[in-house]
Amino acid sequence: MKINSVWLRVISGAAILGVIAIVFSGIGLSVVGVYLDSESGKSSNQTTIDFGTLTGSGSEKINDYRVIIQIKPDGDLAISESINYDFGTQSRHGIYRDIPVRFNYPKKEDTDRVYPLEVKSVTASNGASAQYETSDLTRNGIGYERIKIGDPDRTITGAHTYDIKYRVQGALNGFPNQDELYWNAIGTEWLAPITNASVQVIAPAAVLAAACYQGSYGSDTPCTTATVSGDNANFSIDSADTSLTELAQQFPDSQILQDFAAQPDLFPGSGLTVAIAFPKGIVPSPKPILSMRKTLARAFSLTPLTVGLASALLVGGLVVLLLLGRRGRDRRYKGGPVDHAFGSAEGEEEIVPVVGAESETPVEFAPPDDLRPGQVGTLIDFKVQPLDVTATIVDLAVRKYLVIEDHGSDWKFIKKAKATDDLKPYELALLDGIFQSGDEVLLSSLKKVFAARLNKVKKALSADAKKEGWFLGDPAALQRSIRLAGIGLFSIGIVVTILLGNLTRLALLGVPLILLGILVVVSARWAPARTAKGYSLLRRVDGFRRFIEESEKDRARFAEKQNLFSEYLPYAVVFGTTEKWARTFEGLTSTETDDLYWYRSSTPFRYLTFAHTVNGFTNSTSGVIVSTPPSASGSSGFSGGSSGGGGGGGGGGSW
């Protein structure tokens, strides 16, 4: 049982794309996603500091860093930071403050805890510019909002105070018996030492408990001072020992004592984290604001649901395409092989089946219905190929409308004086295109100029096929429409995949649309269909092709057939069987060569040698006629708390 080769290719392509879907959307995407997860899994509240920079940024330092955090009745934080930044002799534009707004949430996989932040105001003293801009950035898996303060067109030196006020949502943590703020009031990412640091927290009710941690990330060293008075909690650090301070005052000439007494509260890479608890029910029940982390593995989650739905979409789409493909299958006359090739008295038609499409058509010894080579080529593959035009040039030469001269590395066309009344429109357009500049033309002179004329030939040949009624509709227009539909489906698949990947775990559902779009574009070449008349001619053309291919078996019968070699040579060019056709005549005793009137060459004639020459001419001509000119061209802070372990934090520096 035979299978229609066109639909065998379509079905095979569908099967291959199905395998690609499994490989790419399954294993490949999963592996890449796992890698991305492993990278994002390294995220934590800790940001690595380059200790090569922790030398106080030259002469820069923060003289005083004061933070006031007020817990509002709605649970938001109103934070005010006053930073007295001393640039020393360094000429700088201002400072920047990096505030973490997104952390990995340890209680839920592939999830981040976010802290929406709104800057309320920025002011500066001592002539410093309060001009600022905000931007988002990510470092080591942590998302920051950067507040960059200063004028890019001017620089400053010395000490200046910057006051930053901002509001943060989702910072509180709720527990069964209390609500809590666990906050990195001064982050561990400042590159300048902080001489004096203090934090005040104003709670919405009496503070039940308070804690404070100082030092580098993970330090559980308590702050020097932590006092609670009603709804206020105050925290500060005094790094210098009191006795050393007194000694330094008594012995001002002792540099060692002066250095110890003057050491900063916080060195670069150190911070201050506070935790306070207050009664339950004062503010709305705190809940962390969570956001799904956008990773490839999460977006393309391989679950029974996603795999099942994606498979169903792919299979369903293939079924729909195959059903629609019935409309793109050839028609034929009902009956046996003879009826299929020559028609039947009743003239009834049917769709050519995919399975058991056709048996071999009887051999024909001449082109059916006097079809010209260009028409044969168009009937075979629905479109006008450069090879069809080249074969037509040879055919016009054989029919004495022109002579082809072999000039070694080039070819010359010489127009013959012959009436063109019996030429078809596309043949006349081809002759006019070749000899537009004169009656003798070198093939090389047509390079980069004939392509525009070729379109006229193609349109005329397509119009000829339409006039003959061989196809259902315009094959070229149909193929364009199907390719556009495929590109549209592919584009929709890309958009759906991106949207689903950003919003859900169902990005896999967009992959079938992408694959189906590719399949539609690829299958467009087989979309046009022939009418019963066109299909019957195709069967007969196939019989004529078999005659040329198998002619060598009975070559003796061609010995006395004058000019048969030249007459059928253009068809052999279309079929790609030039050498087989030449081999049929090799060694025959014939006067054929004496009548090779349409071709001139200084090389002695042999059939096989001439076949190679014709193939070279075909390749050269096909290349020339299509060439175009170049264009112009949350955890608790009271159980295992530590510095840097809460929300907020970050750091900053100068710029």
pTM for this structure?
0.55
Domain boundary among 511, 527, 543: 527
pLDDT on residue 531: 86
- 122 and 243 fall within a common domain: yes
What distance in Å separates the CA atoms of residue 65 and residue 197, rounded to the nearest whole number?
5
Domain housing 253? 61-296
Same domain, 404 and 498: no
Residues 460 and 499 in one domain: no
**646 within domain boundaries:** no
Is residue 484 domain-shared with residue 453, that is, in the same domain?
Answer: no
How many C-alpha atoms does 653 have within 13 Å on its Cβ side? 17
pLDDT at 19: 42
Is position 56 within any domain? no
pLDDT of residue 43: 36
Which of 296, 329, 345 finishes a domain?
296
Is 638 contained in some domain? no
Q: Please check whether residue 511 lies inside any domain of the structure.
A: yes
In terms of domains, do 323 and 393 share one? no
Residue 51 lies in a domain: no
- 96 belongs to a structural domain: yes
Both 165 and 139 in a single domain? Answer: yes
Same domain flag for 286 and 189: yes
* Residue that the structure tokens 């962390």 belong to: 288
Q: What is the tens place of the pLDDT at every residue in 413-451?
A: 999 988 888 899 999 999 999 999 899 999 888 887 888
CA distances from 464 to 91, 372, 520 (A): 81, 11, 28
Is residue 131 domain-resident?
A: yes
- Residue finishing a domain among 243, 266, 296: 296
Handedness of CA 452, 457, 462, 467 (dihedral sign): positive
- In this predicted structure, what is the pLDDT of residue 231? 94
Distance CA 152, CA 132 (A): 10
Measured CA to CA, the distance from residue 646 to residue 172 in angstroms comes to 10
Q: Which residues of the chain have pLDDT under 70?
A: 1-58, 238-264, 326-328, 338-339, 344-346, 354-359, 552-562, 587-595, 628-648
Please count the structural domains in the chain.
3
- Regarding whether 437 and 396 lie in a shared domain, the answer is yes
Classify residue 365 as exposed, middle or buried by CB count within 10 Å of its CB (0-12, 13-18, 19+).
Answer: exposed
